[in-house]
Amino acid sequence: MFHHSKELQYEVRVEEPDPEFAKMLQQAIGGVEGEMRVALQYMFQAFAVPKKKHQFRTMLMETAAEELGHIEMLATAVAKNLEGASEKDRDRAREDPIIATMMDSGQPRQALSAGLHAMPVDSNGVPFSGNYVVASGNMAADMYANVMAESTGRLLATRLWEMTDDPGMKDMLSYLIARDTMHQNQWRVVLEECFEEPMPIPGSFPQEEENQKYNYAFMSTFCGESEDPEQPWTQGESPDGKGEFSFLSEQPGGGKPDLEKVIEEMYNEVN
């Protein structure tokens, strides 16, 4: 179960409110690279762990709760970047520079729907989707999803860091970038230390059942004659240690598709 406490996880300071930067920060809240995604992803992965592996459940919950705190930090940052709006003066909201910028920008709902506060949407204004969350039941696959999430998340945070000069915002982002460094390493170490041979994922599938001719061959799909480019992906041992890369100059080909029927009951007509 979950608990809260009254402090933020880390200080959130804004010296110069910047409504455009508020919009940018939304990507780190409700975007595909954002904190809602990782908080829920680690949570749903934790929910699937059986009791005999309680240490993984705990670890996932530890970090899920941490990410919830990041949502709170970022939402506070959004509100502070918008807080400069002046006291109400009838008929002049449009002339308030903060609100005017919101109206000109691509996230007007931040004013219209949220009164200048954070929302569970991305920087384009597109709502968060549950389909961003990866929790496959297979922990190795999930760990790759997590490394990827933290990689695109850190990339996003560094881009945001580039886009602001506000010392408070830079400090907050420097903290979030550091946490992404930790989390990238955290999920990597699980892959390396906890799985003997994780690849190809899922490792429990009997590999002899997969087609043995095409499982370590780079397949060219060039239209025309193609030659082995002699790259690391066409020769040498494969990273999973179970095969040798080779080069296939064309696709195998499996005959023309041969649907037999026009299904009349469906009023299909082809002609």
Taking CB under 8 A as the criterion, which residues in 230-259 touch its own copies?
Answer: 231-233, 236, 238-240, 243, 245, 251-259
| Distance of alpha carbon 83 from alpha carbon 77, whole angstroms | 10
Asked if 203 and 140 count as a contact pair (C-beta separation under 8 A), the reply is yes
Q: Give me the 120-149 binding string for its own copies, x by CB under 8 A, dash otherwise.
A: xxxxxxxxxxxxxxxxxxxxxx--xx-xx-
Size of interface with its own copies, in residues (CB under 8 A): 195
- The encoded tokens of residue 66 equal 């941490």
- Which residue in 124, 120, 145, 125 sits closest to 134, CA to CA? 145
First-to-last C-alpha distance (Å) of the chain: 61
15 sits near its own copies (criterion: CB under 8 A): no
Q: Is 266 in the site for its own copies (CB under 8 A)?
A: yes
Contact partners, residue 143, CB within 8 Å, separation at least 6 = 187, 188, 190, 191
Q: Counting contacts by CB under 8 A, is residue 227 touching its own copies?
A: no
Q: Of residues 15, 16, 97, 192, which one binds its own copies by CB under 8 A? A: 192
Quote the tokens at residue 227: 């030659």
Asked if 168 is part of the footprint of its own copies (rule: CB under 8 A), the reply reads no
Say whether residue 204 binds its own copies (CB under 8 A).
yes
41/32 Cα distance (integer angstroms): 11
* CB of 22 closer than 8 Å to CB of 78: yes
Under the binding rule (CB under 8 A), the answer on residue 49 touching its own copies is yes
Query: 244: which strand partners?
Result: 237
Residues 61-100 that bind its own copies (CB under 8 A): 61-66, 68-69, 71-73, 75-76, 79-80, 82-83, 85-91, 93-94, 96, 99
- Nearer Cβ to its own copies (15/202): 202
225 sits near its own copies (criterion: CB under 8 A): no
Report which secondary-structure segment, H or E, holds 247: strand 246-248
Write out the two tokens for 132.
């961003």
* Minimum CB–partner distance for residue 15 and its own copies (Å): 14
Q: Please pick, from the candidates 224, 225, 227, 249, the single residue that binds its own copies as defined by CB under 8 A.
A: 224
CB of 234 to its own copies, least distance (A): 9
